[in-house]
Structure 1
Amino acid sequence: MKVTIKQIAELAGVSIATVSKVINHKDQKITHQTRDRVLEVIKEQGYIPNRIASSMVTKRTKTLGLMIPDITNPFFPELARGVEDGANEMGYTLILCNSDNDLQKEESYLEMLQEKMVDGIIFTASSRRTTMSPAFLRLNTPVVSVDREIEGLRLEGKITVDNEKGAFEAVCYLIDKGYRKIYHISGPLSSKTAKDRYAGFLRAHEEKGVLPVEEHLIEGNYTSTMGYDHTIRLIEESVDFDSLFCGNDLIALGAYKALHEKNMRIPEDIGIIGFDDIYMAEIVSPGLTTVRQPSYTMGYKAAEMMIACIKNKDGVRKEWVLETKLMIRGSTQ
């Protein structure tokens, strides 16, 4: 037979209200001895709180939704781990949704998360998302954005990195190393992330007094296939280039594969810099020079920000712009 909260209260020798406060982490005014006794009885009896019943009273489910666009990109599982750790530490559980950069799927998940009555949604938009749809206009759940934004979407807060500065430092490093014929294989410029990285690419050329090569921008998506296909094209069309600044590490790894297949050496023939510093950047040979984003920290801070918003805490910082770091490895000489 399922143990009830009333039975827990009787076994612990306290009121039902006291047990409820302990379960819901509202036990600041309860003595340590009483709280420990209640928790011990809960453990002994294998009691599992009925969160649905509790949410009907508190109007809270202690659940967050997390929407990411591509779970196969190692950047996002690390971000998700940060969100999950932050949520768990504060007594919240997480529903993870992977949109696969599919706009319809993204919208369906938003509606599902609201049906599940999550207390807040932490959201990284698809790189294909350029405008708000009716699903976004109907949102009545607090939203914190991470990494990417949607113009016009009402947010409780946002976590980003300085993409322009990160790209600027990377391309300046290439130029300082003697590279002059730099091509930029970018994600879709419909996203602010890609726009900012391209702006950093251009600013580095301007400040270093180096003209970008003609047709230096190659726009596409954030996949290894994109990097591979366009690097093969550059080689087969005999394009004169000495380096690639890639919109993310997956693009860079696709470029690695193409260069290896064409018997071109990294960095002796072609230098490469990526963006993200996913775990594979250290594993490939030579190691990939890349711009590190603090993906775990981004996720953790998003959870902190969201839960502070849910609890209506005063003085909550609504925007974090985190610093990137250039990780110099063997793909640049």
Structure 2
Amino acid sequence: MGVTIKDIARKANVSLATVSRVINNKSEGVGPETRERILNIMKDLGYYPNRIARGLVTKKTNILGLVLPDISNPFFPSLARGVEDTANKYGYNIILCNTDNKTEKEETYISVLKENYVDGVIYTSVIRNKDKSIEMLLQSKIPFVMMDRSVNVTDIPEVFTDGVSGMQQIVEYLISNDHRRIAYISGPDNNSPSEQRLEGYMKALDHAGIPIDHTIMKDGDYKISSGYQCMTELLDKGEGFTAVACANDLMAVGALEAMKERGIRVPEDISITGYDDIYLAGVLTPKLTTIAQPKYEMGCLAAELLIKLVQGEEIKDRQIILQPSLVKRESVVKRSDMLENCSHR
């Protein structure tokens, strides 16, 4: 027969109620030393509480689901760390679900999380629309928060960064360096960060009186390979742009490789910018000018918001919009400096 809470209580010389409070992560009436002693005894005896079975009774498992589209993208681990650190601080554990940008995997994972009686879900969707996965969550009545996404539905809490402002900042920085032919490599369609960043790009050009030229705009998918492919196609067209703004840093990495293969110098021949400020941005050659998103903070805030929902607290602000910031590095120079470099070649 397995170890029971009676065995734990007997060895710790405490009541069953005290052991139960520790197992259920309740602090009332349990001192820190007693809690630590009970946890150590549980570990020594190999006692692992069945959270799902307990959840059937208490309606709480102290488990949160985290659904991300692509954990291989260096942007998302920082979000996940913020979620995990905050959840752990409040006594919650995390189940991580990576969907590989596939809506069918999203739907499968939502079903799995429901079956495991998670207390809530933090959800970064593949597409922007109020899709089947969101409908499943709404119907399940499981509290959830959208992270790094905006679906513009009043009752759905959201935490994301202002992508319009971010891309507008960096394109205006290119314009301030005398660039007027600025190519653009966007993210995937039907994705709120992609849509916001495209809007920011177009808004910056419009404010500067620069016509939007769709011949120097390409649709990527946030991966290195698409940045490479899009940049190759732009260069093959020979449209004479002097700068390229990429909707994320990974696509900028691919674009840099495409230019390197053609013998194009960055920034002497073409300036380039990214978006996200992942760790690669600061170690590339040249170091990448980009937009920094408060990734860790976004994860922390999403977790805090979800935990408030789970605990039944009143939520006054259901939409938290964080502000990005411009990070100036080596991949952008003034157009006049580029012309001077050309004359000396």
Please give the TM-score of this superposition, normalised by the length of structure 1: 0.92
- Any gaps of 5 or more consecutive residues in structure 1? none
Q: Is contact 1:182-1:242 (8 Å) kept?
A: yes
Unaligned runs of 5+ in 2: 334-345
Compute the displacement of 1:317 (Å).
Answer: 4.1
Contact 1:132/1:152 (CA < 8 Å) preserved in 2? no
Q: How does 1:105-144 map to 2 (within 5 A)?
A: 105-127=105-127, 130-133=129-132, 136-137=135-136, 138-144=139-145
The code of the aligned residue for 1:162 comes to D
Distance, in Å, in 1 between the alignment partners of 2:129 and 2:320 is: 22
The amino acid of 2:125's aligned partner reads A
CA separation in 2, counterparts of 1:183 and 1:205? 11
1:71, distance to aligned residue in structure 2 (A): 1.7
Letter in 2 for 1:312: G
SS in 2 for 1:276: coil
For the Cα contact (< 8 Å) 2:187–2:222, is it kept in 1? yes
- What corresponds to 2:190 in structure 1? 190
Shift of 1:198: 1.5
Distance between the aligned counterparts of 1:169 and 1:276, measured in 2?
A: 13
Q: Deviations over 1:67-103 (max 9, x none)?
A: 1111221111221122122222222111111111111
Residues 177-220 of structure 1 show CA distances to partners (whole Å, capped at 9, x for unaligned) of: 11110011111342222221122112212323333345343223
Whole-Å separation in 2 of the counterparts to 1:331 and 1:172:
15
Q: Which amino acid aligns with 2:82?
A: G
CA deviation after TM superposition for structure 1 residue 315, in Å? 4.8
Task: Determine the structure 2 residue equivalent to 1:48.
Answer: 48
Q: Does 1:311 align with 2:318?
A: no
Q: Determine what percentage of the aligned residue pairs are the same residue.
A: 42
| Partner residue, 2:343 | none
Q: Distance in 2 between matches of 1:232 and 1:171?
A: 21
CA contact (8 A) 2:220 2:251 kept: no
SS at match of 1:97: strand
In structure 2, distance between residues paired with 1:134 and 1:182: 37
Distance in structure 2 (CA, Å) of the matches to 1:149 and 1:189 = 14
Give 1:48 shift: 2.6
Q: CA deviation at 1:244?
A: 0.7
User: Which position in structure 1 is the counterpart of 2:2?
Assistant: 2
**What CA RMSD, in Å, does the superposition of the two structures yield over aligned residues?**
2.1
Single out whichever of 133-142 and 181-190 deviates more from structure 2: 133-142
**Alignment-derived partner of residue 21 in structure 1:** 21
Q: CA, structure 1 residues 77+42, in 2 after alignment: closer, same or farther (shift >3 Å)? A: same
Give how far 1:169 is off: 0.7
Matched residue SS, 1:266: coil
Change (3 A) 1:240 1:177: same
Name the amino acid aligned to 2:160: T
| Cα distance between partner residues in 2 of 1:32 and 1:230 | 58
Distance 1:7 1:317 in 2: 46
Contact 1:122 1:145 in 2 (8 A): yes
Q: Please, what TM-score do these two structures have when normalized by structure 2?
A: 0.89
CA distance change for structure 1 residues 248 and 36 in 2, over 3 Å: closer, same or farther?
Answer: closer
Deviation string, structure 1 residues 270-301 (Cα, Å, up to 9, x no partner): 11111111111112100111101111211122
State how many pairs are aligned: 331
Q: Which moved more, 1:141-150 or 1:270-279?
A: 141-150
Opposite residue 22 of structure 1, the aligned amino acid is V
Q: Structure 2: how far apart are the matches of 1:103 and 1:36? A: 43
